[in-house]
Every structure is written in structure tokens, then in C-alpha cells.
């Protein structure tokens, strides 16, 4: 009887390992595809936006963005004005090359447009939240 229990445990563990490996592989494939489609976007931010956008029909696209530009090659005051005109949001300058602002309705499609319309962008990071707020989050 002990032998049979050991066999069953091995079969269940093997099956579970197979499922785990398949899920991990699928996740790695998703990350690779996301990185190839949005190479200038932080993967955690991107996946958070995807999660909120696909799971919550009423999500308002509340995102804190940190847009990084090449050091000393971009007029950040002009970029601040451009962001204000586009999103009606004030941005602040961090580390002499990063603009930080809170955006609403920043869905994947809008993020893609932002990258297309501003070829100077080096990288985008930040955080997505469930509810819109004027307060900055991490």
C-alpha cells in the first residue's frame, strides 16, 4: 500500500511540474513578446496596464508615467509643454532627464501613440493604479 501512494504522489508531482513548466514557459513567451512590441517600456508597467485593461471594463487608465529622455539632448521644458498640451497634465522634471506625470486614459493604444509621436523617448517606467488619483504613487 505504501508503494502505491508513492507512485500516485510521483505521478501527481510530475503532472504538476509539467503544468508549472508550461505556465512558466507561456509567461516567458509573453514577456518576450511584450519586450519586442514595447522595447522602451518597463515590463511591469506594461503588464499592469494589460491586466487592468483586460480585467476591468471600467478602468480609467490611471497611470503614473516617468518618461526618460537621453541626457542633455532634449529640451525638457518643451517636452513638458508638449505633454501638457496633449494630456492636460503638468509634469515635473526628475534627474535632469525624466518627466513624471499622472495620466488618465493611458491605455496600451495611447502608450503606443505616445512612443510613436515622440521618438526622443528613451524609456518609460511608472505604475498603474486601479483608481484615478491626483496623488503620486510609487
C-alpha cell, 48? 499592469
Place of cell 505604475: 127
Residue 28 confidence (pLDDT) above 50: yes
CA-closest candidate to residue 98, choices 126, 122, 68, 120: 68
Residues 22 and 108: their CA atoms lie apart, in Å, by 27
pLDDT for position 31: 92
CA-closest candidate to residue 128, choices 58, 81, 37, 63: 63
Rg (CA), the chain: 21
The predicted model scores a pTM of: 0.79
Write down the architecture of domain 38-128 according to CATH. Answer: 2-Layer Sandwich (3.30)
Helices 43-55 and 108-117: angle between axes, nearest 10 degrees: 140
Q: Which residue has the higher pLDDT, 17 or 88?
A: 88
Query: Picking from 4-8, 53-57, 70-74, 93-97, which range would have the lowest pLDDT averaged per residue?
Result: 4-8
Q: Which residue has the higher pLDDT, 132 or 122?
A: 122
Burial of 32 (0-12, 13-18, 19+ CB in 10 A): exposed
> pLDDT per residue over 65-107, tens digit each?
999 999 878 999 999 999 999 999 999 999 889 999 999 999 9
pLDDT for position 22: 94
Residues 28 and 61: their CA atoms lie apart, in Å, by 25
**What percentage of the chain has pLDDT greater than the value 70?**
83
Domain ranges of the chain: 1-37, 38-128
pLDDT for position 122: 96
**What percentage of the chain has pLDDT greater than the value 90?**
75
Residue 136 confidence (pLDDT) above 80: no
Residue 38 confidence (pLDDT) above 50: yes
pLDDT for position 135: 46
Residues 63 and 131: their CA atoms lie apart, in Å, by 9
* CB 126, CB 63: distance < 8 Å: yes
Amino acid at each position: 500500500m505504501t508503494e502505491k501512494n508513492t507512485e500516485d504522489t510521483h505521478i501527481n508531482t510530475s503532472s504538476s511540474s509539467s503544468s508549472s513548466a508550461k505556465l512558466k514557459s507561456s509567461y516567458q513567451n509573453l514577456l518576450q513578446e511584450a519586450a519586442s512590441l514595447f522595447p522602451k517600456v518597463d515590463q511591469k508597467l506594461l503588464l499592469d496596464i494589460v491586466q487592468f485593461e483586460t480585467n476591468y471594463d471600467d478602468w480609467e487608465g490611471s497611470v503614473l508615467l516617468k518618461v526618460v529622455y537621453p541626457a542633455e539632448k532634449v529640451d525638457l521644458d518643451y517636452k513638458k509643454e508638449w505633454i501638457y498640451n496633449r494630456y492636460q497634465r503638468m509634469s515635473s522634471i526628475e534627474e535632469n532627464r525624466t518627466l513624471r506625470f499622472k495620466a488618465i486614459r493611458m491605455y496600451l493604444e495611447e502608450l503606443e501613440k505616445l512612443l510613436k509621436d515622440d521618438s526622443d523617448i528613451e524609456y518609460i517606467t511608472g505604475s498603474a493604479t486601479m483608481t484615478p488619483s491626483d496623488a503620486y504613487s510609487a
